[in-house]
Amino acid sequence: MKCDELKAYTYDDMLDGNADVDIEYYPKSEVDAAIAELKEVAEDACLERDDNSRVIDELEAENRKLKRALWLARAERSASWQIHFSLCHNHSIEREFSINGASMPCEEMATMRTAKDWAMIWKKVERLCLKKAEEYK
C-alpha cells in the first residue's frame, strides 16, 4: 500500500452515521503497512546514498592522485631544466622578439640572466611544484 493511498475513516463510518464527532482515524494495520513501506524506501535510499558517496570518494581520491602526479611531473621537468642550465649554458640568455619574421633583441624586454640565475629559478620552481604535490598526498 502506498502512503498516499491511506484512506481516512471517521467514527461516523464505524458507527453507521450515528456519531456526533467527525474525528478521522486510520486503521492500525494500514498505518503499519505504510510505515514499513516508508522504512524500506528510506533504507534503499540510504544504501544508494552510501554507494554514491563511496564512488564520489573513490573519484576524489583518484583525482588527488592525478593532481599529485601532475605536480610531481612538473617538478621533475623543472629539475631537468635546472640541470640543463647548470651544465649546458655558460652564457647569458637574451630574450628576442620578431617583426615580420626578423628576429631582433628587445632592449626594453631584454632579460640578461646567467645560466646560474636560470638554474636557481628552475630550482625554485621545482620546490614549489613539490610543495604543491604534497598538498595532494
pTM of the full structure: 0.53
Q: Exposure of 78 by Cβ count < 10 A (0-12 exposed, 13-18 middle, 19+ buried)?
A: buried
91 alpha carbon, distance to own chain's centre: 45
Distance (Å, rounded) from C-alpha 120 to C-alpha 128?
12
The per-residue pLDDT for range 60-103, each reduced to its tens digit, is 999 999 999 999 999 999 999 888 887 776 554 455 555 555 55
Residue 54 has pLDDT above 60, yes or no: yes
**How distant, in Å, are the alpha carbons of 12, 14, 22, 70, 89 from that of 81?**
91, 90, 88, 17, 11
Residue 25, SS3 per DSSP:
strand
Percent helix, strand, coil in the chain, to 5, is 65, 10, 25
- Rounded to an integer, the average pLDDT of 1-7 is 65
DSSP string, 100-126: TTEEEE-TTT---B-HHHHHHHHHHHH
Structure confidence at residue 86 (pLDDT): 78
Q: Which DSSP helix (H) or strand (E) runs through 99?
A: strand 96-99
- Answer for the pair 115, 85: CB distance below 8 angstroms, yes or no: yes
